[in-house]
Amino acid sequence: MQGLKLIIFDLDGTLVDAYPAIYRSFNYVMHNLRLPPQDNLAIRRAVGWGDENLLRPFIKLKDLKKAIALYRSHHKTALLKGARLFPKARIILSLLKKRGYKLAVASNRPTRFSWILIRHLRLDKYFDYVLCADKLKRIKPHPQILHKIMRRFSFAPWQTLYVGDMVIDLQAGKRAKVKTIAVTTGSSTKQELKKEKPYRIISNITKLLNEL
């Protein structure tokens, strides 16, 4: 990919499988609010918009503040037990770093929990910048997060690649005018990803090097 300088990654579903931790924290909230538990697929399909938007469809508005507090209290521990890197993700990041690319994270997950994941999985040495939606006015699919990362490094859209697992990632990339690569390891189906017409769709992060 000629002229590529910056690779931006989504976190959950792209590099990290945190779904088991999310399922446990979500249903911990349901249990404490005496609500019926949700199956993993229903929770998985709601992931990607931040924890408040994850819970909102399942919780009465009057209980939402309490639900978020319960979720976050549980999740800071659940992540340490229930999150893992996708196979060979560390190798891919290491190789990209050695090739001289700037690497960044653009996530709708709150900053606090993104850093819990990144530090626990020992990924901090690979990333030059981590930006999460709670530091911005707009979340993905708005392109603000990608624009801000590109401005930080003074790179243009044509020098940038964004890798994500959800339709909202592809929409953010399209609106930011950067090439996007979709992985099918996250919350959106391959058919949903195809409709957004990304630069490439790959089955997992290990295939990324073949596309550069």
Measured CA to CA, the distance from residue 131 to residue 109 in angstroms comes to 10
pLDDT at 209: 92
Distances (CA, A) of 99 to 103, 129, 212: 11, 17, 11
pLDDT under 50 in the chain at which residues? Answer: none
pLDDT at 53: 87
Q: Which CATH class is domain 6-17+84-211?
A: alpha beta
pLDDT at 1: 79
pLDDT at 5: 97
pLDDT at 45: 87
Measured CA to CA, the distance from residue 36 to residue 149 in angstroms comes to 40
- Tell me which CATH homologous superfamily contains domain 19-82: Putative phosphatase; domain 2 (1.10.150.240)
pLDDT at 46: 86
Residues of the chain with CATH 3.40.50.1000: 6-17+84-211
pLDDT at 2: 84
Residues of the chain with CATH 1.10.150.240: 19-82
Helix, strand, or coil (residue 102): strand
